[in-house]
Copies of this chain bind each other. A is one copy, B any other.
């Protein structure tokens, strides 16, 4: 089906979301998350961990001005990932080495939001931050507050552990988004100046290094697409091709010789083109894979595409939770080995699922297969949504599939599992990442190419395509597609992976998981026959043998103690009975065992009573205080 390849998502400005469910989330982001983060960046949230983000930019500006005046500059060590308020001098950099990226992610989220909801006050706030950012940039284009404040002579000397190229990446993404949203190119110029410096610094016959936390490859590509400046594309490709080569650059910059085993963490143990499975820090991984997909598509690079296909297959079929979570282990926030998907020890970082969505969109634009958007849907409706509390002010970084609050308190192996959402993180990658994804959701619904409109997500919305207008809405439990095209055009409508009975009021062909049909001026009824279902996980996953989960459409459900009492492990579900959808929850028939009085005993089936299990959507868990939760229940 080569003719279907190479589609492109519709731009945010061409899609308007009219979805009740999603608009409530998008507005929560606009009305709560964005203003909250605006204050957090300036450390104005009582009781939240300090960010130091804006403070660092202002310090950097002052240092830069001193430099310009030729004043003597005090230096501070650049030797840690985190700079404590207590243990370093007041003028030095504070917080995490990647703290600059917080404001960049915020600006990116604001940019998308402005396109959905023009808001001059918010735009002014963004411009205020943009001024602060641009003021800190050195004349040569360099912009990383850690090194500007603490010791500029050390810039680019610790690519492995520090985050200059990572922060650049978020800067570039923010700059392109803000430019697209407002036409204001101030931040874009700043990003390009830094990008130029990076292109001058890294490459053949220059420094043959590459970033420790990937994102700049994807960002350079975005900057290339926005500006047409080819060296950005070349440098992105250089970073990908250079990564993991021997002798290891990470060894070279530290003056050591290693086996490279530790560089699995950075996907830099072997060159990316030789990689076949997802390894290492999950967010780093999916950011790299996203860039690889960008370049494979742009350059029609078959080798790179084959690598992406192999890594995708590994994630989708061996390393992804039912919730779309990835990165099973807290150890390095990393992918674990195949089928190692523990429920109660899961890391499953919100950011990693967001990155998986980036990777999936790029794969779905390169290859025509519904599986990519199936994964986007799985991650979006579950792990991503779960990352944010219903107040928009509390967040999960880690998204376990089973929680026992006592274990989180008492067991150091589970300290990363928080039974309730946290106010804000000093290491605040997830909340602003979530804000930028949710605010740009418009871009995940439709794709188009020379002869087809692809409908990837069932999010009610209206779209301007190059062939005319299209509207997707919901009526009486069915989706209605209204097309108003100048000429007959193909529609490819994703049949969701969870849909057992897909009905359309016209004939269609199923190609690669999509229902494909011609359409011009049309009113099409789509019936997904969504119903509560019992599903299960492969028996290759040790944690889930003999268990099942309950779903409704794209939503994975879970049991909470608040509804079902404690000791959730004593519950089992009767798979012969159909679960029933109620108002926001699902009930299913099952059993509750009577607690045993002895620790060990001759085998007799535990005594049990019939009971009704009450499931809530996974994304809503942990909104009612600390309590037990589990996704899987015994059958």
Instruction: Name A residues whose Cβ lies closer than 8 Å to a Cβ of B.
Output: 316-318, 320, 322, 329-331, 336-337, 340, 345, 404, 406-407, 410-413, 500, 533-542, 545-546, 548, 567, 569-570, 572, 575, 593, 595-606, 634-635
Q: List B contacts of A537 (CB < 8 A).
A: 599-600
Q: A548-B603, A603-B575, A634-B546 are in contact. Are A593 and B410 (CB under 8 A)?
A: no
CB atoms of A539 and B569 under 8 A apart: yes
B602 touches A500 (CB 8 A): yes
The 10 residue pairs across chains A and B that have the minimum distance between CB atoms: A534-B603, A538-B596, A331-B412, A542-B569, A337-B410, A545-B569, A539-B593, A536-B603, A538-B599, A548-B603
Q: A340-B411, A413-B331 are in contact. Are A599 and B545 (CB under 8 A)?
A: no
Copies in the complex: 2
Do B603 and A317 touch across chains, with their CB atoms under 8 A apart?
A: no
Q: Which residues of B contact A597 (CB under 8 A)?
A: 538
Given contacts A539-B593, A601-B535, contact A545 B634 (CB under 8 A): yes
Chain B residues, Cβ within 8 Å of A598? 317, 538
Is there an interface contact between A411 and B536, defined as CB atoms closer than 8 Å? no
**Least Cβ distance of A276 to chain B in Å?**
16
Alpha-carbon gap, A47 to B582, bound state (A): 65
CA distance A106 to B600 in the complex (A): 35
Q: Across the interface, name the chain B residue whose C-beta is closest to A603.
A: B534
Instruction: Assess whether A599 is in contact with B542, with CB atoms less than 8 Å apart.
Output: no
Q: Which residues of chain B come closer than 8 Å to A329, judged between CB atoms?
A: 411-413
Please state if A539 and B410 are interface contacts (CB–CB under 8 Å): no
Tell me which residues across on chain B come within 8 A of A413, comparing CB atoms. Answer: 329-331, 345, 413
| Complex Cα gap A575–B599 (Å) | 19
Q: A545-B634, A569-B542 are in contact. Are A601 and B336 (CB under 8 A)?
A: no
Partner of A596, one of B330, B539, B593, B596: B539
14 A–B contacts, CB within 8 A, in A order? A317-B598, A329-B411, A329-B412, A331-B411, A340-B407, A533-B603, A534-B603, A536-B600, A536-B602, A538-B597, A538-B598, A539-B596, A540-B596, A540-B599
Contacts of A540 in B (CB 8 A): 567, 595-596, 599
What is the bound-complex CA distance between A32 and B540, given in angstroms?
41
Which B-chain residue is minimally distant from A332 (CB atoms)?
A: B412
For the complex formed, measure the closest distance between the CB of A591 and the CB atoms of chain B, giving whole angstroms.
11
A536-B606, A538-B598 known; 13 new pairs, CB 8 Å cut-off, are: A329-B411, A337-B406, A337-B407, A340-B406, A340-B407, A500-B602, A536-B600, A537-B600, A539-B569, A539-B593, A545-B634, A575-B603, A575-B605
- Complex Cα distance, B610 from A7, in Å, reads 49
Query: Which of B322, B404, B545, B634 is within 8 Å of A600, CB to CB?
Result: B322
Closest to A573 in B: B603
Q: What are the residues of chain B within 8 A of A500 when measuring CB–CB?
A: 602
Residue of B nearest to A593 (CB): B539
The residue among A541, A569, A572, A635 with the most chain B CB atoms within 10 A of its own CB is A569
CA distance A546 to B340 in the complex (A): 20
State in angstroms the CA–CA spacing of A533 and B536 once bound together: 31
A600 CB, min distance to chain B CBs, angstroms: 6
Nearest residue, chain B, Cβ from A567 = B540
Write out the residue numbers on chain B whose beta carbons fall within 8 Å of the beta carbon of A605.
575, 635
List the B side residues contacting A539 at CB < 8 Å.
567, 569-570, 593, 595-596, 606
Contacts A542-B569, A546-B546, A570-B545 hold; do A600 and B336 have CB atoms under 8 A apart? no
Give chain B residues whose Cβ lies under 8 Å from the Cβ of A541. 599
CB distance from A182 to the nearest CB of B (A): 42
**When chains A and B are docked, how far (Å) is the Cα of A291 from the Cα of B476?**
74
- Enumerate chain B residues within 8 angstroms of A404, measured Cβ to Cβ: 542
Q: Is the CB of B535 within 8 A of A599?
A: no
B410 lies within 8 A of A340 (CB): yes
For A634, give the chain B residue with the smallest CB separation. Answer: B546
Q: Which residues of B contact A316 (CB under 8 A)?
A: 599
- Taking CB as reference atom, which chain B residue is nearest A533? B602
| Max chain B C-beta neighbours (<10 A), residue from A404, A545, A567, A593 | A545
- List, in ascending order, chain B residues with CB within 8 A of A407's CB: 337, 340
Shortest distance in angstroms between A393's beta carbon and chain B's nearest beta carbon? 30
Tell me the smallest distance from the CB of A631 to a CB of chain B, in Å: 12
Residue from the set A318, A404, A602 with the largest chain B CB neighbour count within 10 Å: A602
Contact indicator B337/A601 (Cβ below 8 Å): no
Distance A548 CA – B603 CA, assembled complex (angstroms) = 7
